[in-house]
Amino acid sequence: MMGGILNARWPQRLLDLPWGIIVLIAAIGMFGLVVLYSAAGGSFEPWAASQGMKFGLFLAMMLALSQINLSFWLRIAYPLYAVLLLALIGVEALGQISGGSQRWLDLGIIRLQPSEFMKLAIVLALARFYHFLPRGYAGRFAGIWPPLLMIGLPVGLVLLQPDLGTAMMITAGGITIMFLGGLPLRWIIGPGLLVAASLPFVYTMLHEYQQRRVLIFLDPSADPLGAGYHITQSKIAIGSGGITGKGFLQGSQSHLEYLPEQQTDFVFATMAEEWGLIGGVGLLLAFGVLLNWGLRVALQAQTIFGRLVAAGLSMTIFFYVLVNVMMVMGLAPVVGIPLPLISHGGSAMLTVMIALGILLGIHRQRREVSI
């Protein structure tokens, strides 16, 4: 693989990149910086400057990842999954020892949040599984239990942390690959109904604060100054923005700190207050274009691994956007999923940029029929 990169004809490879999409990604990221600049009351500190540096770094990393061949991802799919699973166990064990919930491993230089990368690893690992699954086995029991186990293990560990949002994302990513990998519809509809029927039992197993969040999601006015505060203030920010918004640097909800997590999970509300419906729809359409491109890459790719990874990663980014914006607008419980490319914070941006880098790589190799 390293030889492949070195031997490539660089000018041609660069020209082959979908620059329209890269510019779109950069534009979304830049818009995010503008929002963070305003959220800090018109200041680069403390968010916009650091976010800008990370974004630039990750953008370069994304371009570098786009040059990696799919064979590499295929090869490391299982090892990566295994390492992250061990890391999740390690986090859990550390949490037990220190007597509190913990989500990251402190490696000295960086804090590694294994659950974050598991969102990618589950897609790669399952895609690898289906890539090598003999034709016709997708519907058989032998082709169903391994992916279910592969999803179940990390989801269980993440739920123990407890991190409902990430567990949902990993499940959704895994189910997406199983769905695209050829799982018969009866296997989807049946368990789907089963899951729906078991929701009340799941609810009773949730932590108290999670139960409260669900209840408050169903009726935010029940506790407007307590836990319903987040949702209520976020809706006020979006609603008061109106069609055209209050104007750049004019968002009172964010500047006067009524909006909680204005720079992370609720950054969409911060944006919508100042840019209004126009800004919100514009941002959603930009994500739509990006996701549409991702799915087209999947349809164009020739290898099963490439198709599944491309579609799975697109759907992962889609879930990010969907859950975050639904949460911010009061359509979903508050689960702590950031808005990709916009929310302040490194982990989620890194995950999304890696996914985009892999997508760019698949796009580059979309015409190759074998890995």
Partner 1 sequence: MAGDGDSGRMFDRRAFFLGGVQVAAGGLLIGRMAWLSIFESEKYALASEENRVSLRLIAPRRGWIVDATGEPLASNRPAYSLDIVPSLAGDLDSALDRIAKVLPLDADDRRRIHAEARSLPPSASLAIAEDIGWDAFAALNLELADQPGLQPMRSYVRHYPDGAAFGHLLGYVGRATAEQFKENRDPLYLVPGFRVGKDGVERSKEEVLRGKAGAQRVEVTARGKIVRDLETRPDTPGETVQLTIDRGLQAFTAARIGDDSASVVVIDCLTGDVKCLISMPAFDPNVFSNRIPQALWAAMQADDHKPLLNKVTQGLYVPGSTFKMVTALAALSQGVLPSDTVSCGGRYTVGGNTWHCHSRRGHGTVAMRGGIAKSCNVFFYSTARRIGPEAVADMARKLGLGQKFDIPMPVQRAGIIPDPDWKMQRYGEKWSVADTLNTAIGQGYLNINPLQLAVMTARIASGRLVEPRLIATGPAKDFAPLGIPEDYLEVTRQGMTDVVNGPGGTARSARLPVEGVQMAGKTGTAQVRRITAAERRRGVRSNASLPWRFRDHALFIAFAPTDAPRYAVSVIVEHGASGSKAAAPIARDLLTYIYDREKAEAGLSKLQASRESARRAKAEAERLAAVQAAEAKNLAGVQAAETKRPAALQAAGAAALPAAIAPEAATGRQL
Q: Which stretch binds partner 1 (CB under 8 A): 14-22, 64-72, 149-157, 235-243?
A: 235-243
Question: Residue 162 or 182: which CB sits closer to partner 1?
Answer: 182
Distance, in Å, from the CA atom of 236 to the CA atom of 230, rounded to the nearest integer, reads 10
- Which CB sits closer to partner 1, 80 or 328? 328
Nearest to 127 by CA among 306, 323, 269: 306
Write the CB contacts of 43 (distance below 8 Å, at least 6 apart in sequence): 37
For partner 1, the closer CB: 57 or 329: 329
248 binds partner 1 (CB under 8 A): no
Should residue 69 be labelled a site residue for partner 1 when binding is judged by CB under 8 A? no
Options 72, 179, 187, 248; binder of partner 1; rule CB under 8 A? 179
For residues 76 and 295, which CB has a smaller minimum distance to partner 1 in the complex? Answer: 295
In the three-class reduction of DSSP (H, G, I as helix; E, B as strand; rest coil), residue 98 is classed as helix
In sequence order, the β-bridge partners of residue 106 are 111
Residue 42 engages partner 1 in binding (rule: CB under 8 A): no
Which 3 state secondary structure label does DSSP give 112? strand
| Touching partner 1, residues 318-347 (CB under 8 A) | 318, 322, 325-326, 329, 331
> Site residues for partner 1, window 251-290 (CB under 8 A)?
252-253, 256-258, 272-273, 276-277, 280-281, 284-285, 287-288
What's the CA gap between 310 and 62, in Å, rounded? 15
- Give 3-state DSSP helix, strand, coil % of the chain, rounded to 5: 70, 0, 25
Residues in the chain: 371
Rounded (5°) CA angle 355-357-361: 115
Residue 302 within binding range of partner 1, rule CB under 8 A: yes
Strand, coil or helix: 178: helix
Residues forming the site for partner 1 (CB under 8 A): 135, 176, 179-180, 182, 233, 235-243, 252-253, 256-258, 272-273, 276-277, 280-281, 284-285, 287-288, 291-292, 295, 298-299, 301-304, 307, 311, 315, 318, 322, 325-326, 329, 331, 369-370
